[in-house]
Amino acid sequence: SQQGEEDPQALSIQEGENATMNCSYKTSINNLQWYRQNSGRGLVHLILIRSNEREKHSGRLRVTLDTSKKSSSLLITASRAADTASYFCATDRGNTDKLIFGTGTRLQVFP
Amino acid sequence: GAVVSQHPSWVICKSGTSVKIECRSLDFQATTMFWYRQFPKQSLMLMATSNEGSKATYEQGVEKDKFLINHASLTLSTLTVTSAHPEDSSFYICSARDLREIDEKLFFGSGTQLSVL
Strand B57-58 to strand B44-51: parallel, antiparallel, or no bridges (unpaired)? antiparallel
Average pLDDT over all residues of chain A: 93
| B44 phi, psi to nearest 5 deg | -85, 135
Give the Å distances, CA to CA, from A22 to A41, B34, B94: 22, 25, 25
Q: What confidence tens digit (pLDDT) does each residue in B15-38 have?
A: 999 999 999 999 999 989 999 999
DSSP at B57:
E
The phi-psi region of residue A97 (left if phi > 0; otherwise alpha if psi is between -120 and 50; otherwise beta) is alpha
DSSP at A82:
G
Please work out, in degrees rounded to the nearest 5, the angle formed at the alpha carbon of residue B107 by the alpha carbons of B7 and A101. Answer: 100
Average pLDDT over all residues of chain B: 94
In chain B, whose CA is at the least distance from the CA of A36?
Answer: B108
Q: Is the pLDDT of residue A98 over 90?
A: no
Q: Is the pLDDT of residue B11 over 80?
A: yes
Secondary structure of residue A16 in the 3-state scheme: coil
> In Å, how far is A77's CA from the nearest CA of chain B?
23
Predicted local confidence at residue B56, as pLDDT: 94
Q: Is the pLDDT of residue A40 over 60?
A: yes
CB atoms within 10 A of CB B10: 11
Q: Is the pLDDT of residue B12 over 70?
A: yes
Q: What confidence tens digit (pLDDT) does each residue in B51-102 have?
A: 998 899 999 999 999 999 999 899 999 999 999 999 999 999 999 998 888 8
- Cβ contact, residue pair B104, A31, below 8 Å: yes
- Cβ contact, residue pair A43, B108, below 8 Å: yes
- The size of the A-B interface in CB pairs under 8 A is 60
Q: What confidence tens digit (pLDDT) does each residue in A51-84 have?
A: 999 999 999 999 999 999 999 999 999 999 999 9
Distance CA B55, CA B48 (A): 10
